[in-house]
């Protein structure tokens, strides 16, 4: 195992951007840090970082959650600085980011490849090369090229949290597998999302009918559900008051 694995979440700093779809990488690594009891945030490597451990199938692995505060287009400066400090290899870095070419709620992991026009990935590739791991979190496409910027730089709709909150919870639970096997990470996320709902626990995935309804009408009001402990922690993390 590497001495340290770096879990970099991409986004833009500050409350103005906190709820943006473009900030889902920040949200994912925050969920991991909370679920696994990482230490408090501190400033280093032109980023906000939290340190902790992931207990996975290969044993206990030290990990750093890193949220660059350079703004998205300069994310590589922060990731590269952290990589050099820890003497890590690009393969020891997992970058969580939004993916407009994936349906909302879908997750894919791959090592290397292109940047598909994502400015954060482009910056990281310029600083450390292409052979880092990418955890692609689907935010969906608005269906009109002219609406892409507003979609990416807009807040998640209330209905989006029907799939977003369970996905973030599943990513957090499956995070230890990132240090061992990407396939087990994605399969564990899928298993978590497929778990049936139980009373008082809304961290399970919505049904296909629920997803279709949310997709068709983002403004559709939803009944306020009961929440399990992890879902409640995510609600507070995302600053939601509903």
* Residues classed as catalytic: 22
Residue 6's nearest CA partner among 89, 82, 93 is 93
Instruction: Look up residue 215 and give its two tokens.
Output: 């997709």
Instruction: Look up residue 44 and give its two tokens.
Output: 């280093």
> Whole-angstrom Cα distance, residue 85 to residue 225?
44
The two beta strands, 93-99 and 133-138, are parallel
Please give the sequence-ordered ranges of beta strands (E in DSSP) within the chain, or none if there are none. 5-9, 42-44, 47-56, 59-68, 93-99, 107-111, 133-138
Instruction: Return the residue matching tokens 């020891």.
Output: 92
- Half-sphere CA count of 137, side-chain side, radius 13 A: 27
> Whole-angstrom Cα distance, residue 143 to residue 216?
12
């Amino acid at each position: 195992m590497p001495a340290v694995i770096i879990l970099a979440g991409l986004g833009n700093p500050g409350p103005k951007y906190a709820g943006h779809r473009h900030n889902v990488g920040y949200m994912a690594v925050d969920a991991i840090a909370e679920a696994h009891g990482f230490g408090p945030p501190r400033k280093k490597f032109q980023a906000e970082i939290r340190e902790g451990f992931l207990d996975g199938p290969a044993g206990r692995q030290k990990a750093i959650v890193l949220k660059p505060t350079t703004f998205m287009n300069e994310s590589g400066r922060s990731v590269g600085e952290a990589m050099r400090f820890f003497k890590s290899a690009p393969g020891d870095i997992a970058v969580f980011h939004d993916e407009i070419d994936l349906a909302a709620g879908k997750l894919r992991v791959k090592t290397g490849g292109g940047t598909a026009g994502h400015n954060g990935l482009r910056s990281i590739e310029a600083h450390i090369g292409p052979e880092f791991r990418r955890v692609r979190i689907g935010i969906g496409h608005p269906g009109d090229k002219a609406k892409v910027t507003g979609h990416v730089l807009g807040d998640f709709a209330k209905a989006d949290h029907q799939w977003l909150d369970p996905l973030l919870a599943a990513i957090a639970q499956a995070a230890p597998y990132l240090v061992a096997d990407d396939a087990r990470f994605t399969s564990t996320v899928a298993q978590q999302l497929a778990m049936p709902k139980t009373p008082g626990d809304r961290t399970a995935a919505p049904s296909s009918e629920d997803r279709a309804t949310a997709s068709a009408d983002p403004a559709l009001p939803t009944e306020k559900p009961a929440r399990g402990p992890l879902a409640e922690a995510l609600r507070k993390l995302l600053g939601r008051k509903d």
